[in-house]
């Protein structure tokens, strides 16, 4: 846990509207939320409740139509697009439902990719990626291509890729949706372990209430609003 006074992310009365022709859809209807550095937090709730919309805003991929977002004490609405992209790239890692690994790259090369996109020299990216794969228990599989990895292993590579940039926050939207229950549990346990070992803040969404056993805090979203926000003892 950090001693910093401000939350890692603060949402203040966030609304997100989508315009679909004549109709306006309110996906988030005034969400206020502080996420503190070091938290391990799940967002759950029915389909269409606004989980992905919320994750995109927390991860600075999308901006609210009303309300404000602060990231590490900075008001993000004042950042220009390219500054925001750079800031997001250095602060936030993403894990996706469909893993999003590049099929023609090995596990190691997949983990290196975001580092090289950010301009890191190849030898340094390789060393960082190798460490990240070691951390998630996949050092032996570094040379494997995604089609030679199980679903659970692919998601562990994706977690290594997210962590390799040394982000403050990892956003994982339905990271276990394509996994069986055993691999789902392993992926949540791995995220938990990385959260504890590295102090990285994790926010993930899930439909599966069994995966909520591991979390510090769970937020139930319903119809674009926070229904409950429970901190575990
Ligand atoms: N880009 C978009 N354009 C229009 N409507 C959208 C868009 N993204 C989301 N919505 C709508 O906003 C609402 C919330 O969607 P969201 O994807 O955030 O829900 P969710 O909780 O992630 O659902 P699921 O569990 O199915 O992933 C839904 O009614 C959805 O149709
Ligand atoms: Mg979703």
Mutate to test the pocket of ligand 1, among 21, 27, 63 (most ligand atoms within 8 A of CB): 27
Q: How far is the CA of 134 from the centre of ligand 2 (A)?
A: 30
- What residue owns the CA closest to ligand 1's atom 26? 47
Provide the percentage of residues in the chain whose pLDDT is more than 70: 98
| Domain span holding position 98 | 37-62+79-231
Which CATH number is 211's domain given? 3.40.50.300
CB-CB contact of 116 with 122 (8 Å): yes
pTM for this structure?
Answer: 0.95
CA atoms of 154 and 171, how far apart (whole Å) = 17
Residue 114 predicted with pLDDT over 70 = yes
- Determine the average pLDDT of the residues in 116-120: 94
In a domain, 49, yes or no: yes
- Closest ligand 1 atom to the C-alpha of 224? 14
Residue 73 phi/psi, 5-degree rounding, is 85, -5
In a domain, 13, yes or no: no
Return the H-helix or E-strand segment holding 54: helix 51-58
- Name the band, by pLDDT with cuts 50, 70 and 90, for residue 9: very high
Q: Residue 65: is it exposed, middle or buried by C-beta count within 10 angstroms (0-12/13-18/19+)?
A: middle
**Strand partners for 203:** 41, 171
- Closest ligand 1 atom to the C-alpha of 49? 21
Q: How confident is the model over 38-59, as pLDDT tens digits?
A: 999 999 999 999 999 999 999 9
In a domain, 112, yes or no: yes
In a domain, 99, yes or no: yes
In a domain, 25, yes or no: no
Mutate to test the pocket of ligand 1, among 51, 63, 65, 178 (most ligand atoms within 8 A of CB): 51
Mutate to test the pocket of ligand 1, among 19, 23, 25, 98 (most ligand atoms within 8 A of CB): 25
At 207 the pLDDT is 86
Q: Residue 82: is it exposed, middle or buried by C-beta count within 10 angstroms (0-12/13-18/19+)?
A: exposed
Q: How far is CA 203 from CA 8, 69, 134, 184, 188, in A?
A: 12, 16, 23, 15, 11
Q: How confident is the model over 161-207, as pLDDT tens digits?
A: 999 999 999 999 999 999 999 999 999 999 999 999 999 999 999 98
CA atoms of 92 and 196, how far apart (whole Å) = 17
In a domain, 27, yes or no: no
At 215 the pLDDT is 93
Domain tally for the chain? Answer: 1
In a domain, 117, yes or no: yes
In a domain, 141, yes or no: yes
CA atoms of 186 and 180, how far apart (whole Å) = 10
Provide residues with CB under 6 Å of ligand 1. Answer: 18, 20, 25, 27, 45, 47-53
Residue 2 predicted with pLDDT over 50 = no
- What residue owns the CA closest to ligand 1's atom 16? 50
At 4 the pLDDT is 62
CB-CB contact of 93 with 170 (8 Å): yes
């Amino acid at each position: 846990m950090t001693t910093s006074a401000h939350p890692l992310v603060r949402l203040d009365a966030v609304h997100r509207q989508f315009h679909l022709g004549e109709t306006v859809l309110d996906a988030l209807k005034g969400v206020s939320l502080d996420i503190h550095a070091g938290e391990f937090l799940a967002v759950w709730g029915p389909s269409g409740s606004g989980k992905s919309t919320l994750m995109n805003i927390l991860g600075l991929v999308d901006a609210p139509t009303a309300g404000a977002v602060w990231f590490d004490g900075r008001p993000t609405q004042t950042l220009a697009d390219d500054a925001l992209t750079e800031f997001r790239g250095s602060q936030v890692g993403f894990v996706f439902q469909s893993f999003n690994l590049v099929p023609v790259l090995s596990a190691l090369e997949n983990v290196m990719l975001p580092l090289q996109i950010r301009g890191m020299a190849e030898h340094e990216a390789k060393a960082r990626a190798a460490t990240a794969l070691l951390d998630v228990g996949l050092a032996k599989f570094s040379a494997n291509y995604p089609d030679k990895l199980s679903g659970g292993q692919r998601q562990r590579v994706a977690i290594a890729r997210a962590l390799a940039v040394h982000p403050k926050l990892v956003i994982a939207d339905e990271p276990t949706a394509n996994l069986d229950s055993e691999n789902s549990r392993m992926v949540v346990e791995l995220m938990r372990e990385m959260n504890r070992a590295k102090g990285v803040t994790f926010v993930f969404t899930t439909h599966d209430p069994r995966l909520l056993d591991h979390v510090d805090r769970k937020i139930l979203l319903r119809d674009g609003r926070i229904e409950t926000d429970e901190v575990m003892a």
